[in-house]
Chains A and B, each alone.
Chain A
Amino acid sequence: DIQMTQSPASLSASVGETVTITCGASENIYGALNWYQRKQGKSPQLLIYGATNLADGMSSRFSGSGSGRQYSLKISSLHPDDVATYYCQNVLSTYTFGGGTKLEIK
């Protein structure tokens, strides 16, 4: 199975900052990568699909990039509402999720 490694596991940043979360696959996943945002007490919500496409209704401050084995999620101009855990997901094989990145606001 393809393994997904996310970093960092946790992140603390100030309002207005830009942060980047990375996700590495154990092999080439050809852009078959989605990102989800899960706020405390809520279900996961689709954020980015196909590595770079913003899901309907999600803020344009979120952007995804990457190819091959390396992918990243960038959050620009952090808002307090961005506090959440972010997960990458490989869909090339068996929908494997990364370990998650917990984002907090300083």
Chain B
Amino acid sequence: EVQLQQSGPELVKPGTSVKISCKTSGFIFTEYTMHWVKQSHGKSLEWIGSINPKNGVTSYNQKFKGKATLPVDKSSSTAYMELRSLTSDDSAVYYCARVDDGYYPYPMDYWGQGTSVTVSS
């Protein structure tokens, strides 16, 4: 069974950083690209970026360059997203999702359960 298990909710202070994890199972981690999506309260979904675990190649939404970093740990089949210099605008639910880059048009077919990040002093 494919599973993407994300880490728990985070309450963090402005100006700090946070690192969210997405532990995967049930598929070969290096055969899929891992994506991250933001959903702010009452707003739509925003694509943050992606990483190919096989070669480490990343792609970012221009809006999130400098804000998000997407490392992976292939040994544990886990994707991470680190967000830096947090402000209240970064308060949101963040999802990881997998994409088979060999399967056009690259649907996000499995998603994590979401991680809530609240930025507050």
Contact = CB atoms under 8 A, between A and B. Distances in A.
Interface stretch (B10-18, B67-75, B78-86, B108-116): B108-116
A69 B77 CA distance: 38
A44 B95 contact: yes
Nearest to B103: A49
Interface residues of B, number: 22
Contact of A91 (B59, B106, B113, B114): B106
Nearest to A9: B44
A43 B114 contact: yes
Contacts of A55: 107, 109
B47 A95 contact: yes
Contacts of A96: 47
B46 interface: yes
Interface residues of A, number: 23
A34 B111 CA distance: 15
Residue from B45, B47, B50, B62 having most chain A Cβ neighbours under 10 A: B45
B104 A44 contact: no
A2 B110 CA distance: 24
A97 B44 contact: yes
Contacts of A87: 44-45
Interface string A74-96: 00000000000001010100111
A61 B53 CA distance: 36
B70 to A, nearest CB: 14
B35 interface: yes
A45 B50 CA distance: 18
A31 B105 contact: yes
Contacts of B44: 87, 97-100
Interface of A: 1, 31-34, 36, 43-46, 49-50, 55, 87, 89, 91, 94-100
Given A44-B45, A50-B107, 17 more contacts: A31-B105, A32-B105, A33-B105, A36-B45, A44-B95, A44-B97, A44-B111, A46-B107, A50-B104, A55-B109, A89-B45, A91-B107, A94-B59, A95-B50, A95-B61, A97-B47, A100-B45
